[in-house]
């Protein structure tokens, strides 16, 4: 599960082994909801293979907020940490294999681990990186046209364009599937 983490870094083998013992492997088919909007998150997921998205229901429409691929840690962090209802739904969009940990098993370990400065700094760095990503995404809706958002996605995350259904991509950049088709057609002509 943790083979992509540098074992020579501050995350020692004993730390990794201790965490890994709290996870179990599970597989889900495409379009499986792992957490519904309004539920309290009791699990956290590490994607071994597959793809997930988080989305919310806005006036009866599914609005995709983020995609997660292999080697991503996924949860409704606020819901998981604060035991509040999730603001979004977490769903697989490909057959997906994940390592799953339950909050009741993981939270005490996290609480103890965060007492150590090196681990706390890694955790803070991860939270800040996710915050920066969300800020950049929010700003793109203010500063960029839908075409620019699509081009940015093609440039910055081409693997998403190759793997993810176009209606999810359209939702993610804030447009209809028809509008996305027009953008792609226009770009092909130029």
Helix H or strand E segment including 127: helix 117-143
Q: Give the model's pLDDT for residue 12.
A: 45
* Domain residue extents for the chain: 1-109, 144-190
Reported as a single tens digit per residue, the pLDDT across 126-183 is 677 777 777 887 777 778 899 999 999 999 999 999 999 999 999 999 999 999 999 9
Right CATH for 1-109 from 2.60.120.10, 2.40.10.10, 2.40.160.20, 3.60.20.10: 2.60.120.10
How many CB atoms lie under 10 A from the CB of residue 41? Answer: 22
Reported as a single tens digit per residue, the pLDDT across 69-116 is 998 889 998 899 899 999 999 999 999 999 999 998 877 777 777 777
Angle at CA of residue 78, ends 171 and 103, nearest 5°: 115
Least confident residue range of 49-53, 88-92, 98-102, 118-122: 118-122
Angstrom distance (rounded) from CA 113 to CA 106: 10
Angstrom distance (rounded) from CA 68 to CA 135: 17
Q: Give the model's pLDDT for residue 16.
A: 58
Instruction: Report yes or no: 102 and 96 within 8 Å, Cβ to Cβ.
Output: no
Q: At what angle do helices 177-189 and 166-173 cross, to 10 degrees?
A: 100
């Amino acid at each position: 599960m943790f083979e992509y983490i540098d074992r020579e870094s501050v995350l020692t083998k004993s730390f990794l082994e201790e965490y890994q013992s709290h996870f179990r492997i599970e597989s889900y088919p495409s379009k499986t909801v792992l957490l519904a909007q309004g539920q309290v998150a009791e699990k956290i997921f590490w994607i071994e293979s597959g793809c997930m998205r988080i989305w919310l229901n806005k006036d009866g429409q599914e609005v995709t907020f983020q995609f997660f691929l292999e080697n991503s840690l996924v949860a409704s962090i606020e819901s998981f940490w604060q035991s509040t209802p999730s603001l979004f739904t977490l769903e697989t969009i490909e057959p997906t294999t994940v390592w799953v940990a339950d909050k009741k098993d993981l939270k005490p370990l996290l609480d103890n681990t965060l007492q150590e400065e090196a681990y706390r700094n890694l955790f803070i760095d991860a939270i800040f990186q996710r915050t920066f990503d969300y800020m950049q995404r929010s700003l793109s809706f203010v500063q960029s046209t839908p075409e620019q958002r699509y081009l940015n996605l093609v440039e910055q995350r081409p693997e998403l364009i190759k793997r993810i259904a176009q209606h999810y991509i359209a939702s993610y950049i804030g447009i209809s599937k028809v509008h996305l088709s027009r953008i792609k057609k226009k770009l092909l002509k130029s």
